[in-house]
Structure 1
Amino acid sequence: MSEPRVFLLPDLGEGLTEAELVAWHVAVGDEIAVDQPIAEVETAKSAVEVPSPYAGIVTELHGQPGETLDVGKPLISVTPLSTGVAADDAAPAPSPAHPVVEPNETELAEAKPADAVAETYREEEKAGSGNVLIGYGTPGGHSQARRTRARKSSVTVAERTGSTAPELSKEDDLTLLRTRVPGKLGAVISPLVRRMAREHGVDLGDISGSGDSGLIMRRDVEAALRTTAPAQVPEAKPAETRPLESEAAAASQEAQAANGVDARTGLPIAARTPVRGVRKAVAANMARSRSEIPEATVWVDVDATALMELRGGLKANGAEVPGLLAFIARFVTAGLKKYPELNTRIETAEDRSQEIVAFDGVNLGIAAQTDRGLVVPSVRAAEKLTARELDAEIRRLTDVARQGKATPTELGSGTFTLNNYGVFGVDGSAAIINHPEVAILGVGRIIDKPWVVNGELAVRKVTELTLTFDHRVCDGGTAAGFLRFVADAIENPTSLLADI
């Protein structure tokens, strides 16, 4: 029977180092095909369905839903199906003079036609469709292929089932020495077991391993948790003496008992929520923006009555009418053409010298609130699109973002961000710049306000525009000029919308 192939979690975009396993689409024992979706994972960018590069029978799933997996760690093990008599004829048993070499899992090696086993493996790799995720792919005709079977090693590693560890470099040996079981030279604790012990406060030095050479397994940590759990959670009173209370109140008390009491406030802790996925990415990016960018904010109230009347007239004629955000996006791209300083990025070299990088084009980011958090997909080459085309692309991007299906390219290629926080019923906000961009324009709600028109008081449709900008790339005069340009376009929209 063929040895299982272990598929490692690939880099799903822009150097991400981890992903949360949301759900499995397959189970142990299932027969799967090449490029069949096997799992859904959530990264800091989006939710992604991961396809399998192998066909065969699922022998092991390396992770549980809700678990965070590191890129490059095992995701699934698949045993290839038997290729039948033809395959046996094509791949005779190796002779002692031509032993089969098991390549390292990160090794890139050219297939040798003289080696029947290597040739068979290359042909199997060619069977893929060519669909590629960053970090792996089905070769589809390249002379080099990523090998996934590991060389044998004398080091015993926890939680490996039927496969051996890859050869270790000197640096790897030093790392493993730090994770060996005290007093047991040959026993190495797996990262999964170490993480479980760390998260639950279990001292591995107090545990006797049940694996080979005293290796500490997952079951040993779980057993230690079971022995300490009764001391952490107070025993419930007998049912007949417990006072009457709602199930919700009982659950709340149990949660508070499990989470403990906050030392600073003295209040029971109701819940602990890990910061991960999109929330983790947003937090890191916003913290970096505030720590690196000397920002300033300017704002202005705008009479949007003319724009509202223009849309109303188009609707009355039965035409397909873009949304208000699409019109404003059209004005923004025109404004950035006149004030290109706000469509740049600052790059810092290793010697701390800095450059302002300007772009020939605008990738307009649209801030979108989703169930997973705030994401900013971008309309590529937005300056080339009409208001109707912008409207269609904005709707498409916000839809895929809310479904968690936006690609890393769509989420990470913006040069300027437009944020419509008016949908939340607020007038203004000093937004944080979406690093590494240098400016963000916010649009508040449009409401009726008293406004002076030709010396007389009137009720007009008024909104507030807020521009936050990086003071390193321009001064207030440039920022105010851009903001005034967009405001004037909203108040007199026909001058810029001849091509809608």
Structure 2
Amino acid sequence: MTGRPFPTQRRHTLFFLDQIRDFAPVHLDTEVDATALVAARHRAREAGPRRSVVSYVVHAAAGVLAKHPQANAAIHGRLDPRVATFDTVSAKVTLDRVLDGQRVVLATVIPGLEHAGLAEIQEHLDRVAAQDPDTAEEFAAIRQLRRLPFQEALDRFRTAAGLLERRPGTTGTFSVTSLGHRAVDGFHSVGGTTVTLGVGRITDRPVVRDGAVAVAPVLRLSLTFDHRVIDGAEAADVLTEIKDALEAVPA
């Protein structure tokens, strides 16, 4: 056996997992007929601009959550909890990156989604994907956590996480995480927000249309919600409406 200190590059993940211990997660999942989504991505690719599956999911979810303010919310505190509902919609999207030689999960927050179009969402994701985590301003706070003494870094993380008014900019009002680039059909994750969407791969599956079995591209989509903030009926409405929006992606 070989022991080693915990890598400082992953310190933010350790602190995040400490923060979400208060969560009361419940997991839902559905299947999305991705025929329209695949066709829209193909048409976009022929026209020039790339469109990722995640950008479509973020766009669809933002439109739904703008109509569900109770789900576009956050909670903080145990003995005297406070719940904040937000008048803006922002998404935290996870990223698989390398920080100082260590593979880590990072995140970016896309703000103002109640006014953002698909192209703006994709531009944000492409811009962040092109940045170097070792130098980009986007990840300066993560790098700072590495330089501080452990307890001071943890205290700062906890303090920042407890400020409800800052949540839209620091953690987003909902989260999207994807493992669809690999052979992962579906998964559930707690993203630190009341609603977290897990995006699996799109693959051909049998579906029933007009009473007959056909083969179509299917996306497995999960929703994890914090039961302290909303109940299952609200979460089911949100997931169903996101599914409906993705199945009706316009040309």
Q: Residue 315 and residue 430 in structure 1: after superposition, are their counterparts in 2 closer, same or farther (change >3 A)?
A: closer
Residue in 2 that maps onto 1:296 = 26
> 1:83-119: CA deviations, max 9, x gaps?
xxxxxxxxxxxxxxxxxxxxxxxxxxxxxxxxxxxxx
Which of 277, 284, 293 lines up with 2:8 in the alignment? 277
Q: Quick check: 1:388 aligned with 2:119? A: yes
Q: 1:382 to 1:277 in 2, by over 3 A?
A: farther
Change (3 A) 1:401 1:452: farther
- Compute the displacement of 1:409 (Å): 7.1
Within the candidate set 180, 192, 195, 1:439 is matched to 195
TM-score (norm 2): 0.80
The answer (yes or no) to whether the contact 2:65–2:71 under 8 Å persists in 1 is yes
Establish whether residue 360 from structure 1 lines up as the match of residue 87 from structure 2: yes
**SS of equivalent to 1:338:** coil
Cα offset for 1:408? Answer: 5.0
In the alignment, what sits opposite 2:181?
A: 423
SS in 1 for 2:208: strand
In 1: Cα distance, 2:129 partner to 2:174 partner:
16
Partner of 1:345: 74
Q: Distance in 1 between matches of 2:194 and 2:132?
A: 23
Deviation at 1:388, TM superposition (A): 0.7
Which of the numbers 59, 67, 87 marks the counterpart of 1:330? 59
State the Cα distance separating 1:333 from its structure 2 match: 0.5
Report which stretch shifted further, 334-343 or 291-300.
334-343
Query: How many angstroms apart in 2 are the aligned matches of 1:460 and 1:426?
Result: 17
Q: Return the letter of the residue paired with 2:31.
A: D
Q: Secondary structure at the match of 2:201?
A: coil
Which residues of 2 match residues 236-315 of structure 1 at below 5 A? 269=1, 271-289=2-20, 291-315=21-45
Give the structure 1 partner of residue 232 of structure 2.
Answer: 476
Superposed, which structure 2 residues align to 1:392-403 within 5 Å? 392-400=123-131, 402-403=133-134
* AA aligned opposite 1:466: S
Give the conservation status (yes or no) of the 8 Å contact 1:342–1:473.
Answer: yes
Aligned length: 220
Q: Work out the CA distance in 1 between the residues paired with 2:133 and 2:141.
A: 16
- Bigger fraction of residues in helix: 2
Cα pair distance change 1:400/1:414, threshold 3 Å: farther
| Rounded Cα–Cα distance in structure 2 between residues aligned with 1:382 and 1:409 | 23
Give the share of equivalent positions with the same residue, in percent.
Answer: 25
Aligned in 2, Cα 1:471/1:453: closer, same or farther, shift over 3 Å?
same
Describe the SS at the equivalent of 1:477. helix
Once residues 204 and 186 of structure 2 are traced to their aligned partners in structure 1, the CA distance between those partners, rounded to angstroms, is 15
Please state how far the C-alpha of 1:422 moved relative to its aligned partner: 0.8
Cα–Cα, structure 1 residues 314 and 288, in superposed 2: closer, same or farther, change >3 Å? Answer: closer
Work out whether residues 45 and 51 of structure 2, in 8 Å CA contact, stay in contact via their aligned partners in 1. Answer: no
Kept in 2, the 8 Å contact 1:377–1:401? The answer is: no
SS of 2:63 mapped into structure 1: helix
Deviation at 1:320, TM superposition (A): 2.6
Q: Partners of 1:273 and 1:432 in 2: how far apart? A: 27
Tell me how far 1:401 sits from its aligned partner. 6.1
TM-score normalized by structure 1? 0.42
Q: Which amino acid aligns with 2:223?
A: L
Greater RCO (Cα-Cα under 8 Å, separation 6 or more): 2
Aligned equivalents of 2:70 and 2:208: distance in 1?
33
**C-alpha distance 390-283 of structure 1, shift in aligned 2 (>3 A):** same
- Paired residue for 2:242, among 486, 490, 495? 486
Counterpart in the other structure of 1:45:
none
Q: Which amino acid aligns with 1:387?
A: L
Runs of 5+ unmatched residues, structure 2:
143-168
Q: What is the match of residue 156 of structure 2?
A: none
Alpha-carbon displacement from aligned partner over 1:291-328 (angstroms, at most 9, x marks no partner)? 20111000001110111112223444x35342222122
Question: Residue 455 of structure 1 aligns with which residue?
Answer: 211
Larger-gyration structure (1/2): 1
The residue type paired with residue 399 of structure 1 is: A
Q: Of 89, 93, 105, which residue of structure 2 is paired with 1:374? A: 105
Shift of residue 389, structure 1, vs aligned partner: 0.9
Whole-angstrom distance in 1 between the partners of 2:38 and 2:178: 16
Which residue, out of 408, 411, 414, partners 2:172? 414
- The 3 A distance-change label for structure 1 pair 314 and 395 is closer
Alignment of 1:1-12 (within 5 A): none
Taking a change above 3 Å as real, the CA distance of residues 401 and 426 of structure 1, as seen in their structure-2 partners, is farther
Q: Larger % of strand: which?
A: 2
C-alpha contact (below 8 Å) 2:62/2:90 kept by paired residues:
no
